[in-house]
């Protein structure tokens, strides 16, 4: 139930071009949730297939009785949940807000008040694919959990939380993702391999060079798919040689102005990546 409420709230809260919430997304999420429950029935998929057929043809009355009740219950629970979240978002206790929560509130306020000069975000997920340092990656996951209120225990949770942020940026008017990479990563990978790499780095273990490259390759594909679904522009800043000044890196941290242009080979890998889309 909690996952349904989170997913439905994320999708309904996305604003359309007129600034209205997308309530037409709710029926689809309810249907998805009903099917998830039906998959747990030990009846050889009879219930699941019956629901699929009924929903496909628009025959809601053919849905089994207990699922009719569940359908009504899910909608009622969601409307109450969404109303509470909307109310709390519009009446914040500023002393209790984190920096991220305050920025979120301020962005919504500017949008609602019709601020004339458009100030739009770009989605920059470089840290989400950077598994070179397990300690830094663990810290990033903690920040992601705090920003999304989603517990991350496996790779699917990780993707769910990242897509949550992708949806949030879209709700703030974002239409572009920006990637600052040394090079495009296009290693062949399987889902099992990527999950194994995630579990390994999540446990604080160092990865091999090929494991890092496979993970980064997989994340670039996921990012591209999400961008395509929202019709975003995807731009790549390739050849960035990061953190060249170790002294300033120690004093100020990463991405504080000490990068330069590298001399990495780009053409063949970029062509392969685009071909794969």
Cα 121 to its chain centre, rounded Å, is 15
Contact (CB, 8 A) for 239 and 262: yes
Report the C-alpha gap between 89 and 107 in whole angstroms. Answer: 12
Q: Is 11 exposed, middle or buried (0-12, 13-18, 19+ CB in 10 A)?
A: middle
Can you give the pLDDT at residue 165? 92
Quick one: tokens of 18? 């007129």
22: confidence class by pLDDT, cuts 50, 70, 90: confident
Q: Is the pLDDT score of 162 beyond 90?
A: yes
Phi, psi for residue 20 in degrees, rounded to 5: -100, 150
Can you tell me which residue has the tokens 């100020």?
252
Report the C-alpha gap between 58 and 60 in whole angstroms. Answer: 6
Q: Is the pLDDT score of 231 beyond 60?
A: yes
Quick one: tokens of 24? 């037409």
Contact (CB, 8 A) for 5 and 76: no
155: confidence class by pLDDT, cuts 50, 70, 90: very high
Report the C-alpha gap between 130 and 207 in whole angstroms. Answer: 11
Residue 277 neighbours by CB under 8 Å, 6+ apart: 224, 228
What is the mean predicted confidence (pLDDT) over 31-53? 75
Q: Is the pLDDT score of 103 beyond 90?
A: no
- The domain spans of the chain are 2-91, 126-276
Beta bridge partners of 177: 123, 234
Report the C-alpha gap between 274 and 277 in whole angstroms. Answer: 5
Can you give the pLDDT at residue 111? 66
50: confidence class by pLDDT, cuts 50, 70, 90: confident
Q: Residue 155 region, left (φ>0) first, then alpha (ψ -120 to 50), else beta?
A: alpha
Detail the DSSP E strand segments found in the chain: 176-181, 233-238, 240-241, 260-261
Lowest mean pLDDT, pick from 16-30, 49-63, 212-226, 243-257: 49-63
Q: Is the pLDDT score of 228 beyond 80?
A: yes
Please, what is the angle between helix 26-38 and helix 46-57, to 10°? 160
Please give the full DSSP string across 175-238, using - where no structure is assigned. Answer: -EEEEEESS-------HHHHHHHHHHHHTTPPPPHHHHHHHHHHHHHHHHHHHHHTT-EEEEEE
**Predicted structure pTM score:** 0.61
CATH code of 126-276, in short, is 3.20.20.140
Can you give the pLDDT at residue 208? 96
CA separation, residue 141 to residues 119, 201, 210 (Å): 27, 11, 22
Can you give the pLDDT at residue 57? 64
Average pLDDT taken over every residue of the chain: 83
Q: Is the pLDDT score of 277 beyond 90?
A: no
100: confidence class by pLDDT, cuts 50, 70, 90: low
96: confidence class by pLDDT, cuts 50, 70, 90: low
What is the mean predicted confidence (pLDDT) over 106-123? 73
Can you tell me which residue has the tokens 């997304």?
25
HSE, side-chain direction, 13 A CA sphere, residue 164: 23
Can you give the pLDDT at residue 3? 75
Q: Is the pLDDT score of 171 beyond 80?
A: yes
């Amino acid at each position: 139930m909690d996952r349904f409420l989170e997913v439905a709230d994320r999708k309904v809260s996305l604003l359309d071009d007129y600034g209205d919430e997308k309530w037409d997304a709710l029926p689809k999420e309810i249907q998805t949730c009903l099917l998830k429950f039906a998959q747990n029935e030990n009846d050889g998929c009879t219930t699941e297939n019956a629901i699929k057929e009924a929903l496909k043809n628009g025959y809601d009355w053919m849905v089994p009785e207990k699922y009719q009740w569940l359908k009504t219950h899910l909608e009622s629970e969601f409307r109450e949940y969404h109303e509470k979240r909307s109310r709390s978002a519009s009446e914040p206790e500023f002393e209790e807000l984190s920096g991220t929560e305050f920025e979120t509130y301020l962005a919504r306020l500017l949008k609602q008040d019709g601020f004339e000069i458009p100030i739009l975000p770009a989605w920059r997920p470089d840290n989400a694919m950077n598994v070179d340092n397990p300690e830094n990656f663990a810290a990033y996951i903690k920040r992601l959990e705090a920003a999304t209120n989603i517990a991350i225990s496996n790779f699917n949770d990780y993707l769910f939380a990242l897509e949550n942020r992708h949806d949030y940026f879209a709700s703030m008017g974002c239409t572009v993702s920006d990637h600052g990479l040394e090079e495009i990563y296009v290693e062949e990978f399987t889902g099992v391999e990527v999950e194994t790499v995630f579990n390994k780095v999540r446990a604080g273990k160092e990865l091999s060079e090929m494991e890092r490259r496979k993970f980064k390759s997989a994340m670039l594909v996921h990012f591209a798919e999400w961008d395509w679904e929202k019709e975003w522009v995807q731009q790549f800043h390739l050849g960035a040689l990061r953190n060249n000044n170790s002294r300033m890196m120690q004093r100020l941290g990463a991405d504080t102005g000490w990068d330069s242009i590298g001399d990495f080979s780009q053409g063949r890998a970029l062509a392969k990546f685009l071909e794969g889309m």
